[in-house]
Structure 1
């Protein structure tokens, strides 16, 4: 196991070991069958084949006239083809009229090609049935001089299958259309509906409960008192959990009272696949998370309990991980400084959420980029530093945003990446190439 020692000589876990410990304990949720609207954002656990072709029949891609190609061959403005209109074909219409020699049927976009027809003439290539000029709208049926459907003049020829969408040109019946492991977004939901699937088997989106701790925390919109600050962590991490694919529940900030915190967490376990806390995990006199979680649920049973650690990283040195309650619900305890909290979420919580979803790739993409800065970056020895950055994909460069302080939430709001400074580097010169984690 890779580890180091901090300034006090205590063992410090590596980022890799802490994450490996988390992922080894977090298992994908059991599959369930869901209706399509409820399956959005979930991971498919079955291959899906199409029971029908798409489109299921030959249909028109234009408003116009369904014709035999021989009847319009050689048609020009001077010598148009004159055809008898035998009826209308709308999308979803019943019995289709037969298109015989010298005849045509008015047809709407998406309507089935009637028997006998070989192509569709756009209405713009005709007089629209008015008898003269070029029309851009179609004349209603039943307005011929004798009360029949009348005639239409066609001014341009069309080749075989012109403006016709062929049956199965999108999907053939029996085709594999979606593979297991696919995340179901709007296009995938639309495809499933198009082939007639009303339900699919998926891994459900994880339910993540997020809560902040600290008697100094006030909810946004309320008045700040002396020594108080607004609770931003629970809002940021709830949003981050939803962005990762979870169903997230934000709990109001809990005061520095171990009994209250313990009761709050126990109340939340009924709706949690994962619990995330922020604050109260370092060595301060009021770090109640350690005290509270030491006796939540089945801490003494096999696999239960929360382990609090120091990691060889900055920001985010104090971390906690374990399981609580009768179902051994995973819990990650993050530090309370806003940047420390968010960086910790990206490195540890987001992969855990993606693992619960059953995804094979749980990490953010990492690229190599050239550091653009006016002066060397300093970094503490033996600790991997994660700095906020602005990544330029075209130039292959990254520029630090703000300073290294773990309270600089404004800089975080303008960053789209994390610059990774290795443990062994205490100074990084401009122009150096570094790993960059893309979080934008």
Structure 2
């Protein structure tokens, strides 16, 4: 059953994780089409190459040169005219008439029966189209080489001009979340600046009378607010602008004013707390006044309650609408729902072409109990077993309030909606927290 995020959803209804993702992606697409944000020049800026890491490339990066710029040798060896090769194993004898180094093109031209010693990356001399690797040759001195004719074919071990990139063609496509390798590629093309998408402004707040800020004393029943710090870290990984709106008390007027102020400054507002049964009554009333927000019960663990939708522009603020995520209050549930729903929506809203986290598999070291009918995200540690195969073990208790389970983990074990118990030795899906590049 599909639900529109543009109309309130009762807490008694239940969504599959995939349904929630599709609904969020659909609304973000509508928001982008309505605002034309992806094509708005005001949402594009030019930055120096060393400042472009984790930014979204705004337009195709066209190569200003051919790569390689000329035919060159793919290895150390000897360059010669491949016409001398035959189809039999008859020996070839060539006289060495010079050496070609990388960055120092050979200005002469060889004749029949001659060759040049050549280094990897050196420009192929005129009259040469083939390179025989040094280890395939025999010689009695430094002036000649011998090898069998059938050891290679004409044209082998030569990298052609434009083989990697042709001038005017896209080296990196728009929408790329720029990684270190992308910056290296741009630098290899002589490009010092890149056009990237403007950083999204993301406001965060925590709601709850029990919450205390760091430095305050804890009285009976109170706890320190950890969610804003977890969210700050998650958002910094995406290199976004963060607007910290602090802790808001559980009363309608305070929440409404906080939402209005946050929405006037931000592209996205993320709150934690106040969306579970009983807590959400006045929050729902506020959301109905400020925008179109649905309150969802998602068939997942942890992170069952969540609110999502649009906050409409308020008087005197930007004409753009604000995307809203109301996350659960439990610390682990906040991070799980961010990873599973918010992260991809932020990337999509910021123009990224790849928004999903890659899924790989590993062998479960232990049995895992699981009831069909919900998707579970177990915190775990990925390693290798005695056979060198990827294996994964849980971090212990998986309660939604046990933040240590996230701190110790480096991945999620993802158990799908219809999946049952897992036996030790079964392969399971995992999503890593951090990428190598």
Bin the TM-score by the shorter chain: 0.5 to 0.7
5 Å-filtered alignment, 1:33-432, equals: 33-37=44-48, 39-51=52-64, 174=168, 176-189=170-183, 192=186, 195=189, 197=191, 199-285=193-279, 288-296=282-290, 299=291, 305-326=292-313, 327-373=320-366, 376-392=367-383, 394-425=388-419, 427-432=421-426
Hey, what's the Cα distance between the residues in 1 that align with 2:166 and 2:368?
58
Aligned-pair CA distance for 1:377: 2.9
Unaligned 5+ runs, structure 1: 58-72, 75-109, 118-158, 300-304
Secondary structure of the corresponding residue to residue 196 of structure 2: strand
Q: Is the 8 A contact 1:383 1:423 kept in 2?
A: yes
Aligned-pair CA distance for 1:352: 0.4
Secondary structure of the corresponding residue to residue 26 of structure 1: helix
Query: Which of these two proteins has the greater Rg computed from alpha carbons?
Result: 1
Secondary structure of the corresponding residue to residue 38 of structure 2: coil
- Aligned Cα root-mean-square deviation (Å): 3.8
Hey, what's the Cα distance between the residues in 2 that align with 1:439 and 1:40?
18
Aligned-pair CA distance for 1:200: 3.8
Residue 30 (str. 1) matches residue 38 (str. 2): yes
Q: Is the 8 A contact 1:315 1:386 kept in 2?
A: yes
Hey, what's the Cα distance between the residues in 2 that align with 1:173 and 1:363?
31
Aligned-pair CA distance for 1:203: 2.8
Secondary structure of the corresponding residue to residue 289 of structure 2: coil
Q: Is the 8 A contact 1:206 1:247 kept in 2?
A: yes
Aligned-pair CA distance for 1:288: 4.9
Hey, what's the Cα distance between the residues in 2 that align with 1:228 and 1:177?
54
Aligned-pair CA distance for 1:381: 4.8
Aligned-pair CA distance for 1:385: 1.9
Aligned-pair CA distance for 1:47: 2.7
* Deviation per residue, 1:221-252 (Å, 9 max, x gap): 33222221111111111211222353333321
Q: Is the 8 A contact 1:55 1:166 kept in 2?
A: no
Hey, what's the Cα distance between the residues in 1 that align with 2:265 and 2:53?
19
Aligned-pair CA distance for 1:193: 5.7
Q: Is the 8 A contact 2:25 2:345 kept in 1?
A: yes
Q: Look up the match of 2:20.
A: 18
Hey, what's the Cα distance between the residues in 1 that align with 2:55 and 2:273?
30
Unaligned 5+ runs, structure 2: 4-9, 71-96, 109-115, 125-160, 314-319
Hey, what's the Cα distance between the residues in 2 that align with 1:194 and 1:416?
33
* Deviation per residue, 1:252-292 (Å, 9 max, x gap): 11111221122122112233222111100011357653343
Change (3 A) 1:205 1:215: same
Q: Is the 8 A contact 2:348 2:355 kept in 1?
A: yes
Change (3 A) 1:222 1:47: same
Aligned-pair CA distance for 1:417: 1.6
* Deviation per residue, 1:393-434 (Å, 9 max, x gap): 652322111212111101111111212233344533323332
Aligned-pair CA distance for 1:202: 3.1
Q: Look up the match of 2:81.
A: none
Number of matched residues?
Answer: 341
Aligned-pair CA distance for 1:321: 0.7
- TM-score normalised by length of structure 1: 0.66
Hey, what's the Cα distance between the residues in 1 that align with 2:247 and 2:11?
34
Aligned-pair CA distance for 1:199: 4.8
Q: Is the 8 A contact 1:2 1:14 kept in 2?
A: no
Q: Is the 8 A contact 1:34 1:201 kept in 2?
A: yes
* Deviation per residue, 1:306-338 (Å, 9 max, x gap): 110111111111111110022331111110001
Change (3 A) 1:162 1:242: same
Answer 1 or 2: which has greater helix percent: 2
